[in-house]
Amino acid sequence: LQKSLNETFGADKYSEARKEVLTNMFSRPMQMALYFCTGVLKDETLFRHYALNVPFYTHFTSPIRRYADVIVHRLLSASLGASPPIKMEKEAIQRQADHCNDRKMASKRVQELSADLFFAIFIRVR
């Protein structure tokens, strides 16, 4: 896809902007990852990461970035015996995951609307 975009848009002063907008639009249909508590899900196939083709997957980044990552760090640390277990029931963890998913979806929607606005202005100017 990237090779095709490079060949299609050439090297004029707007080619990078066109490629970036279209790449963004192409990636939208991809399914967004969701946070969940494994203790509340019975179907372990839901733990799978499709693109990486691994049966069990946990994603997290630096805990200064998102609250969901703080929870994952705490749970991972406790599961490895490096810290005491956290004192949260699995239902409470799932409620936190649901809240993080809601906020992430809202943020993504604002980002998409912003890109749509930029694209509309770009088209109007061109």
Are 53 and 18 part of one and the same domain?
no
Burial label, 22 (beta-carbon count in 10 A; 0-12, 13-18, 19+):
middle
State the pTM of this model. Answer: 0.64
Class of residue 71 by CB neighbours under 10 A (exposed 0-12, middle 13-18, buried 19+): buried
pLDDT (0 to 100) of residue 2: 64
72 and 60 Cβ atoms separated by less than 8 Å: yes
Shared-domain flag, residues 87 and 98:
yes
Give me the pLDDT at residue 64, please: 78
Q: What are the residue ranges in the chain where pLDDT is below 70?
A: 1-2, 5-6, 27-31
Instruction: Round to whole Å and give the CA distance between 84 and 125.
Output: 59
85 and 111 together in one domain: yes
Tell me: do 12 and 71 sit in the same domain: no
Taking only the tens place, the pLDDT of each residue in 83-119 is 999 899 999 999 999 999 999 899 989 998 998 999 8
Q: Is there a single domain that holds both residue 53 and residue 113?
A: yes
User: Which pair of tokens denotes residue 83?
Assistant: 């810290």
| 58 and 77 assigned to the same domain | yes
So what's the pLDDT on residue 113?
Answer: 93
For the chain, what is the domain count?
2
Q: How far apart are CA 7 and CA 40, in angstroms?
A: 48
Q: Are residues 93 and 75 in the same domain?
A: yes
13 and 60 housed in the same domain? no
pLDDT reported for residue 56: 83
What confidence score (pLDDT) does residue 126 get?
Answer: 79
pLDDT at 72: 87
What pLDDT score was predicted for residue 41? 84
Whether 61 and 78 share a structural domain? yes
- Please tell me whether residues 38 and 85 are part of one structural domain: yes
For residue 82, give both structure tokens.
């490096």
Classify residue 86 by its DSSP letter: P
Domain hosting 115: range is 31-125
- 62 in the same domain as 9: no
Instruction: Give, in degrees to the nearest 5, the angle at Cα 48 between 96 and 67.
Output: 25
* Residue 26 sits in the same domain as residue 36: no
